[in-house]
Amino acid sequence: MTRMTDDRARELLRQAVPIPEWEHDRSADLWPRVRRRIDEGHNPPPAVDWVLAMALVALYLLQPSLLGILLLHF
């Protein structure tokens, strides 16, 4: 069986996947979106995390031995 040559594969690839032409819109200022993303990363933990933490404290106060079992999983 004849094998395909590298040149033939390259030629087909160039037809299928042309070099992308792009023009970045200079007016598009992406900085506000980056800034928002950074600020979101600095947010305090969501309320559910606080509830979970309080539940663990309550568990420790009521049943310290259960907390020990839980910690074994970490």
Residues lying near another protein in the complex (CB under 8 A) are found at: 2-6, 8-10, 12-20, 22, 24, 28, 30-31, 33-35, 37-38, 41
Per the structure block, which two tokens stand in for 42?
């600095």
Residue 21 or 69: which CB sits closer to another protein?
A: 21
Contact 60, 52 (CB under 8 A): no
Residue 32 or 64: which CB sits closer to another protein?
A: 32
Contact 67, 60 (CB under 8 A): yes
Shortest separation between residue 30's beta carbon and another protein, angstroms: 6
Residue 6 or 46: which CB sits closer to another protein?
A: 6
